[in-house]
Amino acid sequence: MINVTVNRSSSGAIQSFSMSGHAEFDDTGKDLVCAGASCVAFGSINAVHALTGIDPVIETDQKNGYLSFQWPESASGEAFEKGQLLLEGMLVSMRTIEEQYGEYIRIAILEK
């Protein structure tokens, strides 16, 4: 199962997210759930960087199916707000996948 964890600040801003595990919906290379979730996550990270100019802190481990995103301490202002919109869009897309394939992907929202 893929586990997506989104960490929000007390103001509701997405501070970080992580994705771990394997969907095991189908064989490697044919797993639509894994491919969909990966595309949404990596596409969102790429969009944050390209459209805000902010370099997020990223960690990956392909073998174990791990990805994490965290805003750098310096992220603020209009660029940070644009990034928030992109990450909220990512969350909508992940929830859409979860609605259809809930036995293969779970999303948890943690608030500080």
Considering the candidates 2, 19, 34, 37, report the single residue annotated as catalytic.
34
34 is catalytic: yes
Considering the candidates 8, 22, 49, 82, report the single residue annotated as catalytic.
22
49 is catalytic: no
Q: What is the 3-state secondary structure (H, E, C) of the chain?
A: CEEEEEEECCCCCEEEEEEECCCCCCCCCCCHHHHHHHHHHHHHHHHHHHHHCCCCEEEEECCCCEEEEECCCCCCHHHHHHHHHHHHHHHHHHHHHHHHCCCCEEEEEEEC
Which residues have a catalytic role annotated? 22, 34
